[in-house]
Each structure stands twice: as structure tokens, then as C-alpha cells.
Amino acid sequence: MKQRTLTILKPDTVTHHNCGAVIARLEQEGFEIRAARMVWLSKEQAEVFYAVHKDKPFYRPLVEFMTSGPVWVLALEREDAIEYLRKVMGATDSAKAAPGTIRQQFGTNIERNAIHGSDSPDNARTELAFFFSTSDLA
């Protein structure tokens, strides 16, 4: 089933000039880009986006990192997009991510891991709506 998911190319990917390489990889993997935008998240936006983690010890540093510079947000479409993106991204910790995954190739550690991907259909819907209006996604 064709699905849409949200990805974020995190500030480390922008800083390291890896956006082109990551997007090329995503296109090679069969994802269609349906919408894309560069955004410098406010503290409030990052807090809301990662609210599920608000009681975790990594929450404050994560918000700090995600607001340290601009990011690219993209709406991606593909067969089984949500699960497939998570597979191509690799494990959360870039230092432990499997060879050939985006996080292994472009990330640094468990925080600076290059890319975000929605983890469920419900979250994909919420996260796409967080950044894109329905007309962007038509």
C-alpha cells in the first residue's frame, strides 16, 4: 500500500553538506518527494514535535540540537513508506547502525543521527500535518 511519511534532515546533515547525498539515497530507494521545505525550528516547535520524549534525560539536549540550525522537512511517498524508511535509516544510535544505513553513513552518535522518520501511520499523519498543509500535500 502506498503511504506517506515525514522525514527530517537534521541540523548535522545540513551542517555537513549531506542533504543532497541523503535525498539522492532516498530517491534511489524509491521514495517520491511530495513536499519539501527548509525550516529553522523554534524551541517551542521542537518541544512539541518531540513531546513524547519530554520526560527523558535526552529531551533538553535534543531540543537544543534540533534548534541549532535549519533542517529540511520532506513528505515522502512509497510502498510501505513508514516501515521502509525506518529500515533504510537504521538504528537510532549512528555508532551502532547497520552498515549501509543512512544513520550509519551520515550520522555521528545517538543524538546526531542525521535523519528523522515517522514510526507509525498515526505519527506519520500527525507529523506531516505539523509541517505541511493539505494543499502542500495534494
Q: How far is the CB of 124 from Mg ion (least distance, A)?
A: 11
Contact partner, 101, from ligand UDP, Mg ion, none, Cβ < 5-8 Å per class: none
Contact partner, 13, from ligand UDP, Mg ion, none, Cβ < 5-8 Å per class: none
CB within 8 A of 54, min separation 6: which ones? Answer: 47
> Given the C-alpha cell 516547535, which residue does it identify?
45
Cell of 134: 493539505
Q: Pattern 70-99, binding to Mg ion, x per CB under 5 A? A: ------------------------------
- Contacts with ligand UDP: how many residues (CB under 6 A)? 9
Nearest residue (CB) to Mg ion, 75 versus 133:
75
Report the alpha-carbon distance of residue 44 to residue 122 in Å, rounded. 22
Mark whether 17 is an active-site residue. no
CB within 8 A of 126, min separation 6: which ones? Answer: none
Q: How far is the CB of 53 from Mg ion (least distance, A)?
A: 8
In angstroms, the Cα distances linking 50 to 53, 65, 70, 76, 111 are 6, 12, 16, 20, 13
CB within 8 A of 89, min separation 6: which ones? Answer: 97, 101, 102, 103, 115, 117
Q: Interaction with Mg ion in 106-125: which residues (CB under 5 A)?
A: 119
Cβ atoms of residues 106 and 80 within 8 Å: no
Q: Interaction with ligand UDP in 25-84: which residues (CB under 6 A)?
A: 53, 58, 62
Q: Which residues bind ligand UDP (CB under 6 A)?
A: 53, 58, 62, 92, 110-111, 113, 116, 119
Q: Which residues bind Mg ion (CB under 5 A)?
A: 119
- Catalytic center residues: 116
